[in-house]
Amino acid sequence: MSQHYDIIIAGGGPAGLTAAIYARRAGRSVLLLEKEGFGGQIATAPKVENFPGFSAISGAELADRMYTQAETLGASIELEEVLSIQPGPVITVTTDYGVHTCTALILATGMKRRTLGLPGEERLSGVSYCAVCDGAFYAGRDVAVVGGGSAALQDALFLADTCRTVTVIHRRAQFRGDPVLADALRARDNVELVMDTVVTGLLESSGALAGVRLQNTATGETRELAVDGLFEAVGQLPQCKPAESLLSLDENGFLPVGEDCRTPVPGVFAAGDCRTKDVRQLTTACADGAVAALAACRYCGA
């Protein structure tokens, strides 16, 4: 018979690992489940420069440090995919390897960035999904942003403050994002808006991005644009499938949970990028992990 845990954490990214650290320091028995790789999206970042205490550290090293800390504190950590969750006074979590039970459950399943699906996209340096994280690397250089929602427009405005030029590429004739943001971009001298256009290929030089190949969807005309960085803001894919039977997701597929990380389901909490929030950064994921862990510890009682 499997062990009963005080707290099970679904997801081994920064939110889940932080929750494991806090819960173990509070003396709770913890099982952390991760279906792919520990550290979440940050594990693939070549350099992290906005995490307090480190002027620069690779995402892989930071993820490894967090994993080691949770493991050293005594958290049980397993590579298992959560398939279903049954709520109740005793919460039952079924995975591809078996069944586990707990008093409190923290959903920290994260999200994945939607990509363009182009050859070299994951390999080339110069392709980024976070302007706040990586924008400083391109100060004084030429970059492009692809996307038409508010996130893409906000990224372009952020980059326009430091980059030499910013080209915003959108596949439609009109932006889907806030018109105020679009107007702000039009007022910038170093921003060009390229509409009815898709990115069909990436140009490279010595393993780094050198430019993008563009095609106008109305005329079929193709051209190449030289840029040092490409920032993709074409949507996010929340990994909330295991929770669909417990909670109604918001219109974008995220868990509609506030800053207290409490869901309407007794004993179930949500932390990190899987929940509805305005800011998705490494530091906010860790903050969520701490909040959710302490709330889960209180729920478990004495």
52 pairs with which residues across the strands? none
The whole-angstrom separation of Cα 58 and Cα 60 is 5
Q: Is 286 a catalytic residue?
A: no
The distance of Cα 206 from the centroid of its chain, to the nearest Å, equals: 28
* Active-site entry in 133, 240, 274, 300: 133
* Active-site entry in 6, 134, 155, 228: 134
Q: Token pair for residue 149?
A: 């929602």
Q: Given the structure tokens 């909330």, which residue do they identify?
A: 240
Q: Given the structure tokens 């106008």, which residue do they identify?
A: 216
Residue 191's Cβ-side half-sphere holds a number of Cα atoms within 13 Å equal to: 25
Q: What is the 3-state secondary structure (H, E, C) of 218-253?
A: CCCCEEEEECCEEEECCCEEECCHHHCCCCCCCCCC
Q: How many CB atoms lie within 10 A of CB 298?
A: 10
> What DSSP state is assigned to residue 48?
B
Q: Is 274 a catalytic residue?
A: no
DSSP string covering 166-235, please? EEEE-SSSS-SS-HHHHHHHHT-TTEEEE-SEEEEEEEEETTEEEEEEEEETTT--EEEEE-SEEEE-S-
Q: Is 134 a catalytic residue?
A: yes
Backbone angles phi, psi at 155, to 5 degrees: -60, -45
CA distances from 201 to 112, 121, 127, 136, 291 (A): 21, 9, 12, 25, 42
* Active-site entry in 130, 163, 240, 286: 130
Catalytic residue annotation: 130, 133-134
